[in-house]
Amino acid sequence: MEKDLKSKTVAQLERLVTGLGQPKYLAGYIFSAIQARGVTDISAITTLSKSFRAKLVEEGFYISKLEIVDKLTDPDGTVKYVFGLSDGGRIESVLLFDDDRRTLCVSTQAGCAMGCVFCATGRLGLARNLTAGEIVDQVNIAGGDTRISNVVFMGMGEPLANYEAVLDAVRILNNSAGRNIGIRHLTMSTCGLVEGIERLADEDIQPRLAISLNAPTDAIRRKLMPITKKYPLDRLFAAIERYQRATRNRVTFEYCLIKGVNDTVLHAQMLVKRLLAPLEKTAIRNFPANRRFLTGCRVMCNVNLIEYNPHEGCDLKPSGRQAIERFAGVLKDAGIETTIRLKMGQTINAACGQLGSKRTENLE
């Protein structure tokens, strides 16, 4: 049994306290003390009796806490946190500012096993999965006393490869007695683990879904993302369609533009063809007539274009601004909602694909 109380949802805490012969409502006291007030010592949960607090400690329960190893600030305001884990490992989180919005990019694994060639984290390999408590604590610490507007599970690791802990973290962050972050402001990003996408479609809680796509064809995608060998694009899109039939949620496609690899007008035209492929009649029947699906788009989506961010050990080159704008123009002309994402946090290796690369000196 997981002994870290920070990793537990309210439902899990209810089962725990009743199993120890206590009334169920005490679970709410424990949850709010940890997730809303930041208590890290069981003895400080004074809404519980002294005897029950002692019982929890005797049974081996505790409240974990990440340690900040380093904090780096980019001139553009982006902040990168380097956290130390209890076993000596390290993970990174990135806080982004956009007007009044504060978006935190959190890690779900120490390292990553997916091996995407454009991603520094993939070069590390996988050390281990993070617990729900370690995922949530990134938000607790980076947020401090202020509100995090959005949490994106797009840091180190593949969220759907750590499914249970990540979904527990979603439930914890979404709970009104804790951080109370709306489900529409919680986004999972995946390289395309089909079973995880299909499983997510059947959950009673459904965060937003983002797909790291990066290529319009299997041949190109296989060179960038080894997972394509197991899950070709047709299989991936079938899973996305199933997810959308169940959730009615729009999907974001993330597309990292790499010079000479996936960034030409022809590549953009091939991407349009894939996104506008005919939708199965069964899927059409399941969507209301005012949905974008009936305009011919295979999936209800938007596309985020991200210029490749260089990192040590990889000789890929970023596309120039003109190539990015040409690519975006093709998508927009086809009626596909498209956004060019600004580079943020590059000088501290906090930009997309740079987490886990060689750390730079502290710029604070």
- Which residues does the annotation mark as catalytic? 92, 352
Q: How far apart are CA 100 and CA 87, in angstroms?
A: 36
Rounded CA Rg of the chain: 21
Q: List alpha helices for the chain, DSSP H.
A: 10-19, 26-35, 50-58, 132-143, 163-174, 194-201, 218-224, 233-247, 265-275, 281-285, 321-333
User: DSSP letter at 113?
Assistant: S
Dist. CA 336–CA 276, nearest whole Å: 9
Half-sphere exposure (CA, 13 Å, Cβ side) for 282?
A: 6
Q: Which two tokens stand for residue 94?
A: 């990135």
346: Cβ contacts below 8 Å, ≥ 6 apart: 74, 309, 354
Show the tokens assigned to 182: 């709306």
Q: How far apart are CA 355 and CA 21, in angstroms?
A: 45
Strand 251-257 relative to strand 301-307, pairing: parallel
Q: Which one-letter amino acid corresponds to residue 298?
A: R
